[in-house]
């Protein structure tokens, strides 16, 4: 069946797209739409046209899989022009998400109506692109500069009610069917004398033409978001062209900027991440008909920062949580923190007071382990020590009902050892949340040797429900993320002893695009994690810093000195401490360039990633990219560590590792997978 069908209802032509799953505007869809519009234009008896979609959504954008392939017409910009130039009024009837090219099609239409639940947006920037089918020129003309800039540069969609408010929609259909309402609307406008043409409008951009500083203000306010990324800057430039240039020239500018982005590395990297994110949810070796375990109540052991953060995920998704602590005071503190976090969100307008109360009402705090009995999933977030974990698993196994899932939030330890303490190793899984657990999107799902397919499939589905990106990892110390962090930390420490300063090491990574470097991160987390004055033996730089009261940002000093606004500056005291350790090490002291620091820190990570792949710990290279992007701040515009390695060439990485072999030390071994792929001129992805 054709993806585009048409139906005549009286003097109205209804064009319907049916291209599952998201009605992407692939070639067949574009051709069908162009043909139907041409027919409507030439047929005197047709007085108005409706474009709508079947399935779960209006057009969700251009077909991303077509990028990088030879273009086959009609092009999307030509299609949008043809719709706009149709002498009959064309109405977009929107449900689901009108995104990217989808919204650009709607902007080419003379009118737009939508159901109340619809969302409209131009998310191209998230793919390292800008709207390339007129969106940067038409949206400002329809919705005004301020809202258009925000939508295009952030890529965030707006709700139907917001779209109505800013003039992007003409009507929101509150009751009744969209198809019927569209027909009624079409009959109304068919009788009107003229119809709004987005490209001809100037009313919404006139003000910005007189106040060009709106762009500078926007750039100043969004500096952090823009850093390192090419696309947002190009988006701003294109919208500026909508104000400065006539429509035809503005479109030309948009095209030039789009072509440059679409053929660049950043967009390739970000498109890779789009598909990588979706791929991560797919688990190898699990039959499609594997049943899900119903999860009606979640139990959490430990009401500390981690346990409380984990609990919030489920409460926010409407799932009841039983929260267990050993002492009343700790339990009260945990519950109070959860409430405080929700109230802060409400104060920022991102939650209503009713929603706060609804979430809190789902929480059952208790001191009784036995209260976990009827939970369908229990996650332990107790102290990170194997003996304690084992004890917890034995107790949970005895209490929690049969069939329930038992999970550990360990970030490092062996899930199989914990599972072995139970009579249901198939029900045991790792759920490694990242701190702050209510905010960070990453969830490492650790598949034990005996974890059942049902358990795995259930936790992956649950992760989606609570808004996490889940990546499956096999069992090994540190799983995917922390295992790759280890060599980076090791090299960062060694560099200090060889003459690099913490500020140089951090700067090498922030220049690369990380939000912070290893020493800034350590200061933020607190240098005294796991440190005690009693056991401190002045044997590492970190210990000495702690002994001197330099325990990180919270104490006003750590590796760095901090001012009242927690802005760090290089510390002479830290330099002196490092110099002492360096002298003791006997290592020759020298200067390091940013490039050399990056090679020393990042290449060993790629090597570890290759080992993780080789051992089957990660299912695919792109899963590793997703972990590092969402858990550790790896810059998105490089596509993640493994994609980045592919971009610079695996041979470059291999040669770099060989060049640094002496500094990396005798224990460092090169992954055979990296070696063979590099020698064969192959990639990871
Ligand atoms: C653009 O429009 C450029 C123009 O300005 C200029 C052109 C000249 N293409 O996310 P889901 C697949 S750029 C191809 O799991 P959900 C996706 O890979 C585009 N495929 O569903 C997945 O495949 P699989 C601007 C696409 O319900 C399946 O559909 N638009 C596309 O969670 C289901 O996806 C965007 O950036 C696509 N455009 O979310 C919007 N979109 O099942 C991108 C999806 O094999 N899309 N697929 O893994 C989205 O944000 C979400 O998919 C959406 C649905 C919200 C629509």
What secondary structure does DSSP assign to 429-489, as a single string?
Answer: EEEEE-SSTTT--EEEEE--TT--HHHHHHHHHHHHHTT-EEEEE-SSTTTTHHHHHHHHH
DSSP category for residue 200: G
User: Is residue 662 packed enough to be buried (19+ CB in 10 Å), middle (13-18) or exposed (0-12)?
Assistant: exposed
- Token pair, residue 237, equals 């430039």
Mean pLDDT computed over 308-333: 97
Ligand 1 atom nearest residue 104's Cα = 5
Question: How does pLDDT run across 432-491, given as a tens digit for each residue?
Answer: 999 999 999 999 999 999 999 999 999 999 999 999 999 999 999 999 999 999 999 999
The residue from 84, 124, 254, 504 that is catalytic is 124
Is ligand 1 within 6 A of the CB of residue 278?
Answer: yes
Strand order in the sheet with 119-121: 97-99, 119-121, 158-159
Q: How far is the CA of 26 from the centre of ligand 1 (A)?
A: 11
| 612 Cα to the center of ligand 1, angstroms | 29
The pLDDT of residue 215 is 87
pLDDT at position 285: 85
For residue 155, give the ligand 1 atom closest to its CA: 36
Mind spelling out the 3-state secondary structure of 48-86? EEEEEECCCCCCCCECHHHCCCCCCCCCHHHHHHHHHHC
Alpha carbons 74 and 254: distance in angstroms, whole number: 18
- Cβ–Cβ under 8 Å, residues 143 and 242: no
Which atom of ligand 1 lies nearest, measured to the CA of 64?
9
- 376 and 405 Cβ atoms separated by less than 8 Å: yes
| Average pLDDT of every residue of the chain | 96
Q: Are 146 and 125 in contact (CB under 8 A)?
A: no
Whether 520 and 560 have beta carbons less than 8 Å apart is answered as yes
Which residues are CB-neighbours of 21 under 8 A, at least 6 positions away? Answer: 55, 56
| pTM, rounded to two decimals | 0.93
**DSSP H/E element including 684:** none
- Residue 59 — φ and ψ, nearest 5°? -50, 120
Element (H, E) at 378: strand 377-380
CB-based contact 600:491 (threshold 8 Å): yes
Span from the CA of 22 to the centroid of ligand 1 (angstroms): 7
Is residue 209's pLDDT more than 80?
no
Q: CA-to-CA distance for 652 and 603, rounded, in angstroms?
A: 9
Instruction: Identify the residue whose C-alpha is closest to ligand 1 atom 48.
Output: 278
Task: Give the chain's end-to-end CA distance (angstroms, integer).
Answer: 35
Tell me the C-alpha to C-alpha distance, in Å, between residue 422 and each of 42, 250, 324, 397, 414: 74, 66, 20, 6, 14
Sequence-distant (≥ 6) Cβ neighbours of residue 74 within 8 angstroms: 30, 31, 34, 82
Instruction: Return the percentage of the chain with pLDDT > 70, whole number.
Output: 100
Q: How confident is the model at residue 645 (pLDDT cuts 50, 70, 90)?
A: very high
Residue nearest atom 7 of ligand 1, based on CA coordinates = 132
Read off the pLDDT of residues 474-508 as tens digits, 9 standing for 90 and up: 999 999 999 999 999 999 999 999 999 999 999 99
Say yes or no to pLDDT of 563 above 90: yes
What pLDDT band is residue 68 in, cutting at 50, 70 and 90? Answer: confident
Determine how many CB atoms are found less than 10 A away from the CB of residue 399.
Answer: 18
Q: Is the CB of 99 under 6 A from ligand 1?
A: yes
**Residue 174 in contact with residue 182, Cβ under 8 Å?**
no
Say what the pLDDT of residue 207 is.
78
Question: Ligand 1: which atom is nearest the Cα of residue 65?
Answer: 14
What is the Cα 664 distance to its own chain's centre?
A: 33
Output the pLDDT for position 210: 76
Helical spans, DSSP H, in 68-212: 76-85, 101-108, 135-143, 145-154, 160-165, 178-190, 206-210
Cα 284 to middle of ligand 1, angstroms:
22
Pocket lining: 127 vs ligand 1, CB cutoff 6 Å: yes
Q: What whole-number distance in Å separates Cα of residue 47 and Cα of residue 195? A: 12
Pairing of strands 377-380, 405-408: parallel
Quickly state the pLDDT bin for 610 (edges 50, 70, 90): very high
Looking at the CA of residue 282, tell me the nearest atom of ligand 1: 48
Ligand 1 atom with minimal separation from the 101 CA: 2
Catalytic residue among 43, 66, 84, 104: 104
Q: Is the CB of 22 under 6 A from ligand 1?
A: yes
For the residues 531-554, what does the mean pLDDT come to?
A: 95
Contact present, 273 and 626 (Cβ < 8 Å): yes
| Mean pLDDT to the nearest integer, 228-234 | 93
Tell me the pLDDT band of 214, cut-offs 50, 70 and 90: confident
CA of 125 from ligand 1 middle (Å) equals 13
Burial-class residue 220 by CB neighbours within 10 Å (0-12, 13-18, 19+): exposed
Burial of 677 (0-12, 13-18, 19+ CB in 10 A): buried
Is 124 known to be catalytic? Answer: yes
User: Which residue's CA is the nearest one to ligand 1's atom 39?
Assistant: 22
- Nearest atom of ligand 1 to the alpha carbon of 63: 9
Strand pairing partners for 299? Answer: 322, 378
Judge whether 66 counts as a catalytic residue: no
The pick from 22, 138, 139 for probing ligand 1's pocket by mutation, whose C-beta has the most ligand atoms within 8 angstroms, reads 22
> Percent of the chain, pLDDT > 90?
93
Q: Is the CB of 123 under 6 A from ligand 1?
A: yes
For ligand 1, the distance from its centroid to the CA atom of residue 252, given in whole angstroms, is 26
pLDDT in tens, 329-358: 999 999 999 999 999 999 999 999 999 999
Q: Which pLDDT band, with edges at 50, 70 and 90, does 208 fall under?
A: confident
pLDDT of residue 548: 96
Closest C-alpha residue for ligand 1 atom 55: 97
97 close to ligand 1 (CB < 6 Angstrom): yes
Length of the chain: 685
How confident is the model at residue 212, as a pLDDT? Answer: 76
**Minimal-distance CA residue to ligand 1 atom 11:** 278
Q: What is the mean pLDDT of residues 236-264?
A: 96
How far is ligand 1, taken at its centre, from the CA of residue 507, in Å?
Answer: 36
Structure-block tokens of residue 319: 């799932």
65 lines ligand 1 (CB under 6 A): yes
3-state secondary structure 596-664: HHHHHHHHHHHHHHHHHHHCCCECCHHHHHHHHHHHHCCCHHHCCHHHHHHHHCHHHHHHHHHHCHHHH
Q: Is the model's pLDDT at 294 over the cut of 90?
A: yes
- Measured in Å, residue 60 CA sits from the centre of ligand 1 at 6
User: Mind giving me the DSSP string for 292-335?
Assistant: PPP---EEEE--SHHHHHHHHHHHHTT--EEEE-SSHHHHHHHH
**Gap from CA of 23 to ligand 1 centroid (Å):** 9
The tens digit of pLDDT for each residue in 379-401 reads 999 998 999 999 999 999 999 99
State the average pLDDT over residues 557-575: 96
């Amino acid at each position: 069946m054709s993806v585009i069908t048409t139906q005549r209802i009286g003097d109205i032509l209804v064009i319907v797209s049916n291209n599952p799953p998201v009605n992407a505007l692939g070639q067949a869809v574009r051709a069908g739409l162009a043909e139907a519009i041409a027919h409507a234009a030439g047929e005197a008896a047709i007085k108005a046209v409706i474009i709508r979609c079947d399935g779960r959504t209006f057009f969700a954008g251009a077909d991303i899989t077509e990028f990088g392939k030879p273009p086959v017409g009609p092009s999307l910009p030509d299609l949008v022009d043809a719709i706009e130039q149709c002498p009959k009024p064309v109405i977009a009837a929107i449900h689901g998400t009108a995104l990217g090219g989808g919204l650009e099609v709607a902007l080419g239409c003379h009118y737009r109506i939508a159901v109340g639940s619809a969302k409209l947006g131009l998310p191209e920037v998230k793919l390292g692109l800008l709207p390339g089918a007129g969106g940067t020129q038409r949206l400002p003309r329809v919705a005004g500069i301020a809202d258009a800039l925000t939508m295009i540069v952030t890529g965030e969609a707006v709700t139907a009610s917001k779209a109505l408010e800013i003039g992007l929609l003409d009507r929101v259909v509150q009751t009744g069917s969209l198809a019927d309402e569209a027909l009624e609307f079409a009959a109304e406008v068919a009788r009107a004398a003229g119809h709004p043409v987005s490209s001809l409008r100037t009313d919404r951009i006139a003000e910005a033409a007189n106040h060009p500083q709106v762009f500078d203000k926007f750039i100043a306010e969004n500096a952090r978001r823009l850093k390192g990324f090419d696309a947002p800057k190009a988006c701003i430039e294109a919208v500026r062209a909508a104000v400065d240039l006539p429509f035809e020239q503005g479109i030309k500018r948009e095209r030039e900027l789009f072509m440059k982005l679409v053929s660049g590395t950043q967009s390739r990297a970000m498109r890779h991440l789009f598909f990588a994110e979706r791929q991560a949810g797919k688990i190898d070796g699990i039959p499609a008909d594997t049943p899900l375990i119903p999860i009606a109540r979640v139990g959490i052991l430990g009401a500390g920062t981690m346990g409380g953060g984990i609990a919030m995920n489920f409460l926010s998704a409407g799932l009841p949580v039983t929260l267990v602590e050993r002492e009343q005071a700790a339990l009260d503190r945990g519950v109070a923190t959860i409430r405080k976090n929700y109230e802060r969100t409400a104060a920022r307008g991102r939650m209503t007071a009713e929603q706060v109360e609804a979430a809190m009402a789902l929480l059952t705090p208790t001191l009784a382990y036995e209260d976990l009995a009827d939970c369908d999933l229990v996650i332990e977030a107790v102290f990170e020590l194997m003996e304690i974990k084992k004890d917890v698993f034995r107790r949970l196994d005895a209490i929690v009902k049969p069939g329930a899932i038992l999970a550990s939030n360990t970030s490092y330890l062996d899930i199989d050892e914990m599972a072995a303490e139970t009579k249901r190793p198939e029900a045991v899984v790792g759920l490694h949340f990242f701190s702050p657990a209510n905010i960070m999107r990453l969830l490492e799902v650790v598949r034990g040797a005996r974890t059942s397919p049902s358990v795995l499939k259930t936790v992956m589905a649950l992760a989606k429900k609570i808004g996490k990106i889940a990546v499956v990892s096999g069992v090994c110390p540190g799983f995917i993320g922390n295992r790759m962090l280890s060599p980076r930390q090791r090299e960062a420490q060694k560099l200090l002893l060889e003459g690099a300063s913490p500020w140089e090491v951090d700067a090498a990574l922030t220049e690369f695009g990380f939000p912070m470097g290893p020493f800034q991160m350590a200061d933020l987390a607190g240098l005294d994690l796991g440190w005690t004055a009693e056991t401190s033996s002045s044997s590492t730089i970190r210990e000495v810093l702690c002994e001197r009261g330099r325990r990180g940002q919270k104490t006003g000093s750590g590796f760095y000195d901090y001012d009242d606004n927690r802005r760090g500056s290089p510390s002479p005291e830290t330099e002196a401490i490092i110099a002492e350790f360096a002298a003791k090490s006997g290592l020759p002291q020298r200067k390091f360039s940013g490039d050399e620091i990056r090679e020393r820190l990042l290449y060993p990570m790629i090597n570890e990633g290759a080992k993780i792949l080789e051992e089957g710990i990660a299912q695919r290279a792109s899963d590793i990219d997703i972990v590092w992007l969402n858990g550790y701040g790896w810059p998105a515009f490089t596509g993640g560590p493994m994609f980045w390695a592919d971009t610079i060439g695996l041979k470059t990485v291999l040669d770099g590792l060989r060049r640094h072999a002496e500094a990396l030390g005798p224990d460092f071994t090169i992954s055979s997978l990296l070696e063979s792929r590099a020698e064969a001129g192959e990639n990871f992805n």
